[in-house]
A and B are shown apart, each in its own frame.
Chain A
């Protein structure tokens, strides 16, 4: 009994031992499995989980920075900030969003559409990120909201600041701000770190150009929160940084004055300091109300803007392209002189038209100007004279000079709406139109028609560079004390008229870039422009200033929209009797005062008819205004100079 039992026990022990061995092997495998999992979580994926853990720990609330202001030359704020009342809502703090919406609807003026939009926003963002229910409510709504606040869990009344434009005269050059769109986030890199719900960014004009700097640095509050979203402690607070403020070269008074002058027309005005390129005024008409864009645009207003035939949203001064018309004649004459094609006293006979290459080319003066030299050609704006000059000069040489003076390229930096225009030549035509140049087209180019396209700003720059004696300047709109070299050069020349240094060397000492071979040629053009404005027979003689202080020298131009038919020419159809859309664009460029040029101006009136009639009177008034304010400007300039 004992023996089999003990034998049995031994067999059993062996069986147990065998099975235990199998179990031990299984345990080893499971243990290694667990170690493997630990390796994968704590070593391989530790960065991922650390990030997730930090996301658990911290919550950030971003604070929108205050946008910098834009000032004019006299430190008047032309784009400023204004206190606004807003309603924010933190979804996770509200127990029942729908109930809250119903309650909010009775207190504020919220449409069903807006609520629909808000619901969509809520699903898209983190529950602790605030959504903006309304970004601009009235004081009475705001106080009512505060009264009922205790029953509105999750709602936060906020006093914030938003963009405000005191006036719409500078709407085009300043541009406007509006809500960040999905496309903005994609295309603008600097917004990636900056995005705060409800923040506005510059969409056009200076607001857009300066956006990156003017927007400021975002602030944030970082809290450690527990699993229930309760703030445990504040880890970090960064107030952010208000955006940089900018001082511009604009004169708000002149802006308002010019804007008022052209308000009923589709027109543009550009005024520039001829020595340093400071843009004193740049207005386009009709204008729009930039404040409307700040807090979500009203659809009706938007429709009225885009349906308006006079295109109020376009900044015509830099984005409107017009054939320069007769204003180009200054450059044609200069180019011909510089290239030695003509002498100032060479004459041509104008009989009202010439026939070349089997085509008739008309002068605007049906009866002709008779014997015409350079000075008379510019004074009377004789087309036949310039047909002859252009024929001799050739389009390629003309285009070279035109480009040197800033035509055919963007002259301002960083304005997306600015357009380059066209300075045609044989190569250009071959490349863009795919055809050879016809000689007849040279003649059209000689009077600024045909393919020529320019902006009023370019024409202003062209005139300024003639007025300052033929030196290159760069238009600028952001105030910058530097770059007074040209003025100093002129001052030096006046003080030491007999300086033995060769002019070339002197010019390069002042880091100037001359646009001429012989400065005498520039003076000839300036003198011819004087005669055009101030001598009987000149195209803008009727609108001259007798007062020496305001005397300007200018050049009229009208750019043709439709070619006159022979029949119309015979019938002597007047511009005023044509349909609005078919009338010529009126142009006028000038510099003033003649004796000591300070400013250049260009005026464009779309479908205004002739430059002398429609554009020159406007320029005349603005010139007076600008020159009256010159001393004030000068004083500020010298004050600022001392500070440095």
Chain B
């Protein structure tokens, strides 16, 4: 115990800077620059609103990420529940004071930005469960009594988000939480049982689905069902990506996006635009950057001593990976359009903020890797 403390206390500012994972920082930075390029293209090759605010957000939240990196891991551990509760209150706030846009209530007006608390909750839940399972002993882990709290903290935000309605984000929040629980050692049988229960409840759940959500699922199963309606997005996205070919149509030359065939090109379909303009190799480049980021996050999980740190890094790294692949599979026509942004690349302050927040905690795990948390 003492040794550990001494090590921690002996960290000088220089040591802290040196212990930062530079590969991760540089990868994020390159990805950020790439996203600015893509955003510039969505604005039709002009420095307009989307590009300007994306640049601003990226640099602000990138700075935030660097600052958060130097905050003690202990702080994150001790404040985990509080952070979760704060995010949950914000979510509740959305329910009562939220802004409604295109039929769903997702945002809080904070005057300087519209905040989407559900994005923050993606990280908040992982943080909560990482602490919870860090503190739960391995004997108690699979006792029903100890499963109660995780289920509540998982279900409550999901219900709030799903009723906004925002099914995509709700599922992604659940994915992050379940990952942490599973990594911590919760038996597979519990997942199986809850999976079956979910299936049993599915017909009831479907009856609660909005017509547009039902149609999205049907459309995914058969995109040509209604080529000008709900299937339109998938078809046009596939056309854009496929027509990019090996080397792409060239920067600012993506006819599909330029001519407005791509829906929501600066948010969910930013990868499509990039893929159309830079082709197969461009897509591989993006995929490669994300692979490095996920790899470094998992690596930090490996080197960090505390199980809180491990659980958070593994959980966040996996969730990050899931966000990326869900978005890509969606635009590639492998998953229904659920509305999930591509981390860092997509336009959207809340998503950027949440990701940078999570990355900051990850980096803190690296800087304070040998510091025990309790």
Contact = CB atoms under 8 A, between A and B. Distances in A.
Interface of A: 2, 5, 8-9, 11-13, 15-17, 19-20, 23-24, 27, 30-31, 33-35, 37-39, 41-43, 45-46, 48-50, 52-54, 56-57, 224-228, 232
A225 B243 CA distance: 17
Given A19-B185, A43-B246, A226 B239 contact: no
B275 A42 contact: yes
A16 B185 contact: yes
Interface string B170-189: 00000000010011110000
Nearest to A44: B242
B287 A34 contact: yes
A8 B138 contact: yes
Contacts of A27: 294, 318, 321
Contact of B307 (A2, A13, A49, A228): A13
B307 A9 contact: yes
| Secondary structure of the A contact surface, majority rule | helix
A343 to B, nearest CB: 87
- Name the 6 nearest CB pairs between A and B, nearest first: A49-B242, A53-B243, A46-B245, A42-B280, A41-B242, A227-B260
Contacts of A52: 239, 242-243
18 contacts: A11-B138, A12-B307, A15-B138, A16-B183, A19-B182, A20-B301, A34-B325, A34-B329, A52-B239, A53-B239, A53-B255, A54-B243, A56-B236, A56-B256, A226-B259, A227-B236, A228-B260, A232-B259
A31 B307 contact: no
Contacts of B256: 53, 56
Interface in B235-272: 236, 238-246, 255-256, 259-261
A12 B185 contact: yes
A225 B242 contact: no
A16 B283 contact: no
Contacts, number: 126
A24 B245 contact: no
Given A15-B185, A227-B259, A42 B307 contact: no
Contacts of A232: 259
A48 B238 CA distance: 11
A77 B321 CA distance: 77
B369 interface: no
Given A39-B280, A49-B243, A16 B238 contact: no
Contacts of A50: 242-243, 245
Contacts of B321: 27, 30
Interface residues of B, number: 45
Given A30-B325, A37-B329, A37-B334, 15 more contacts: A5-B137, A9-B307, A13-B310, A15-B184, A20-B314, A27-B321, A30-B321, A33-B334, A35-B284, A42-B245, A49-B239, A50-B243, A52-B242, A56-B261, A226-B259
Contacts of B298: 20, 24
Contacts of A43: 245-246, 280
A50 B249 CA distance: 10
B221 interface: no
Given A13-B310, A43-B246, A38 B294 contact: no
B332 interface: yes
Contact of B238 (A17, A41, A225): A41
B245 A225 contact: no
B311 interface: yes
Given A23-B318, A30-B325, A48 B291 contact: no
B193 to A, nearest CB: 18
Contacts of A227: 236, 259-261
Contacts of B242: 41-42, 45-46, 48-50, 52-53
Contacts of B255: 53, 56-57, 224
Interface of B: 1, 137-138, 179, 182-185, 236, 238-246, 255-256, 259-261, 275, 279-280, 283-284, 287, 291, 294, 298, 301-302, 307, 310-311, 314, 318, 321, 325, 328-329, 332, 334
Contacts of A39: 280
A24 to B, nearest CB: 7
Given A12-B185, A15-B185, A42 B246 contact: yes
Contacts of B246: 42-43, 46
Contacts of B138: 8, 11-12, 15
A12 B184 CA distance: 7
A49 B255 CA distance: 12
Given A19-B185, A42-B244, A42-B275, A56 B259 contact: yes
Contacts of B236: 56, 227
A226 B259 CA distance: 4
A8 B138 CA distance: 7
A226 B265 CA distance: 14
Contacts of B294: 27
A16 B260 contact: no
B310 A16 contact: yes
Contacts of A34: 287, 325, 328-329, 332, 334
A587 B246 CA distance: 77
A632 B332 CA distance: 77
A66 B259 CA distance: 34
Nearest to B291: A31
A108 to B, nearest CB: 31
A487 B88 CA distance: 108
A19 B246 CA distance: 37
A38 B288 CA distance: 13
A16 B184 contact: yes
A228 B232 CA distance: 13
A38 B185 contact: no
A31 B329 CA distance: 10
Contacts of B301: 20
Contact of A225 (B259, B283, B284, B334): B259
Contacts of B310: 13, 16-17, 20
Contacts of A2: 1
A457 B320 CA distance: 88
Contact of A49 (B241, B287, B329): B241
B233 to A, nearest CB: 11
Contacts of A9: 307
B314 A23 contact: yes
Nearest to B279: A42
Contacts of B307: 9, 12-13, 16
A54 B249 CA distance: 12
Nearest to B302: A17
Nearest to A5: B137
Nearest to A58: B255
Contacts of A35: 284, 287
Nearest to A20: B314
Given A27-B294, A34-B328, A56 B239 contact: yes
A53 B334 CA distance: 20
A224 B256 CA distance: 11
A27 B239 CA distance: 26
Contact of B287 (A13, A31, A54, A56): A31
A45 B280 CA distance: 12
A364 to B, nearest CB: 79
